[in-house]
């Protein structure tokens, strides 16, 4: 099965992607991992991507799509894949769709985790990290023990202001993917509110797994 996984920051996408991969048994293709692998391998597209990354610039869509095409052409993707982190915009989705069609590859489903903005803000702003162990806690859902509570810290991008900025960007750029893929009947919306197990059950049921 070939699946694109979409969701706002803090929706639990990482947790659910890992669980979905266990069921699918297919490779997880994230743009970050893909860039690093291509750069390490020294492929022409990897070298081009590295030039932009060293300058702190976004890798152009054409290069990213080329890397996606390279990656999914590898033997381990013959039975399917989970594409995570791309596309993020409608133009990217349109270009990716055209490229995959040219390769004779079709996306089976686009899974979207839906979580209300206010709950996402609560999830993200409540996160705290233990700088000594790297363990992540949550002030409400998974509070740190008393002997750790005094040293946990909040990441700079976990403030409410930063969180709402990221959410606004998601709604502006990524949310339009819903009607784009919805027109083809491949869009699968999943309620992301609840325990991880509850969300996983909904996700698998929605995808017919």
Burial class (CB in 10 A: 0-12, 13-18, 19+), 20: buried
Round to whole Å and give the CA distance between 95 and 180: 12
Q: Are 19 and 58 contacting, i.e. CB atoms less than 8 angstroms apart?
A: no
- Alpha carbon 87 to chain centroid distance? 10
Q: What is the DSSP string of 9-23?
A: TTSSHHHHHHHHHHH
Backbone angles phi, psi at 31, to 5 degrees: -60, -40
- Residues serving a catalytic function are 13, 88, 127, 155, 166
Q: What is the DSSP string of 40-87?
A: HHT-HHHHHHHHHHHTTPPPPHHHHHHHHHHHHTSGGGTT-EEEES--
Round to whole Å and give the CA distance between 78 and 27: 10
């Amino acid at each position: 099965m070939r699946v694109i996984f979409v969701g706002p920051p803090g929706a639990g996408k990482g947790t659910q992607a890992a669980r979905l991969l266990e069921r699918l048994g297919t490779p997880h293709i994230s743009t970050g991992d893909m860039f690093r692998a291509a750069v390490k391998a020294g492929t022409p597209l990897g070298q081009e991507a590295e030039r932009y990354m060293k300058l702190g610039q976004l890798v152009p869509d054409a290069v990213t799509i080329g890397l996606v095409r390279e990656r999914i052409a590898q033997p381990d993707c013959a039975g399917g894949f989970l594409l995570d982190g791309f596309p993020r915009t409608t133009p990217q989705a349109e270009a990716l769709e055209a490229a995959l069609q040219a390769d004779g590859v079709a996306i089976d489903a686009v899974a979207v985790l839906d979580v209300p903005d206010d709950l996402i803000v609560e999830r993200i702003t409540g996160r705290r990290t233990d700088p000594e162990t790297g363990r992540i806690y949550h002030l409400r859902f998974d509070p740190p023990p008393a002997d750790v509570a005094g040293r946990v810290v909040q990441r700079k991008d976990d403030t409410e202001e930063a969180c709402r900025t990221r959410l606004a960007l998601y709604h502006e750029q990524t949310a339009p993917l819903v009607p784009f893929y919805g027109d083809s009947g491949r869009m699968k919306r999943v309620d992301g509110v609840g325990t991880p197990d509850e969300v996983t059950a909904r996700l698998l049921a929605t995808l017919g797994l």
